[in-house]
Amino acid sequence: MKRILLLSLLLISFIFNAQININIGSTNVGTAPVSSFFSYSYVQQIYPKQEVNANAAGNITGLTFYLDPSASINDSSGWTVYLGHTSKTAFISGTDWIPASQLTQVFAGTVVNNNGKVEITFTTPFAYNNTDNLVIAAKENSQSIDINNFDEAFHVYPHIPYSTLYYKGDLMVVDPASPPGGIRADYKAAVTISGLVPRSSPACPFVTYPLNNAQLVSLAPNMKWYPVSGADSYKVSLGTSPGGTDAVNQQVVAGTNFTPSVPLNPNTNYYLKITAVSAGVESSGCADIVFKTVPPVPVNDACSGALLASVFPYTYTQSDAVSATNNSGFITVCPDAMNDGTWFKLIGDGSQYTVKITMPAGSTFDPQLDIYSGTCGNFTCVNTADSGGGGAAETMTITTAPGTEYYVNVGSYEETVDMPEDTFTITVTKL
């Protein structure tokens, strides 16, 4: 008798734990899993494997969606639900639907709001492989609409940009084999996935900044990640080797962003790991995010460090311009003011010189080129060039006076906003 009771309790415990809750406490509303405020809708949502956080592959036996207990869905209750697998994490456009051929219909019928829950039980379970990301798609077939404070009814939570794609309208029931163009959203429906057993540890957070393999990250980055369902805190580790903690060692963070208290080293690869903690249990198997910080401040960041062009043609590629500072502020010597960028100089000999600034292919950097005579802090404007836009070259030709020093400033064209410079090449040719 005791053995039967024990087995029964174990079975009840297994059934109770065979469900995964994803942000079921959210109270924001949106167009997912269907629209309640339009007659017809079709919605696809991508739940990444990392977020599902299942212990193993298994059969999904049902879904539960959440809404306010008083919300009306009487005229939004005719649903057809599909599940599927995908390697996508987001939709790249409003027509980037996952094909109907990759989806399996798991439910068709009428749903009800049962005290704030829409519970759907599948006639035939869906076999989730726990390798791919999970697609949840739903089509709402009822003609009329429900008015809930003139808004949607179902609870959603913010997540990966464009991880939901929806169409809603009043003209037609959508055919999933050929859906019309839709709208992408940065949220998904709060959901309970029945039949899958969750891992014993919380899911690994999705880091939104810096992205993996990011370059030119600031020395004081504000690291950000999406909240993990059920997490009560997070731990941040940061080092200069995989799994390293020499910069930040398991720093406990209550929110979903963190900035190191000590600036990072320039031009250095860092390895960031963020884990979630729920009731004292920490995420396991979380991958490092690798990024590289900006280079050091250029040696020619200030006028006093200007690089001398003495052999012509002179060519220099400023690959560290992104770290240039604005020093004492904007340069206002010429009528068209500009950022204090990086500096070069040449000594006049009575000849003409052409100065040209070019950017690498694909660059959006919009430089301004100013040339001054005199000394640092006591300039006279010779000329300025800012005729192109982002990525366009700037060229200027000047006639020099023997023995006069000429200073060249290459910086952002902005005259009221301190904008970062970017990679460029300067070429000085003697005519």
Residue range 288-322, pLDDT digits in tens: 999 999 999 999 999 999 999 999 999 999 999 99
**CA-atom Rg of the chain in angstroms:** 30
CA-to-CA distance for 399 and 355, rounded, in angstroms? Answer: 11
**Is the pLDDT confidence value at 5 over 50?**
no
CA-to-CA distance for 83 and 100, rounded, in angstroms? Answer: 10
Provide the 10 A C-beta neighbour count for residue 354: 15
Exposed (0-12), middle (13-18) or buried (19+): which is 190, by Cβ within 10 Å?
buried
Mean pLDDT of 182-195: 97
**Is the pLDDT confidence value at 11 over 50?**
no
The 10s digit of each residue's pLDDT in 399-421 is 999 999 999 999 999 999 999 99
Name the DSSP class of 200: S
Q: What is the largest CA-CA distance in the chain?
A: 109
**Is the pLDDT confidence value at 339 over 90?**
yes
Domains annotated on the chain, with CATH: 2-194 (2.60.120), 207-293 (2.60.40.10), 303-430 (2.60.120.380)
H or E element: which one contains 352? strand 352-358
Give the per-residue pLDDT at 17: 63
CA-to-CA distance for 221 and 209, rounded, in angstroms? Answer: 8
pLDDT band at residue 125, thresholds of 50, 70 and 90?
Answer: very high
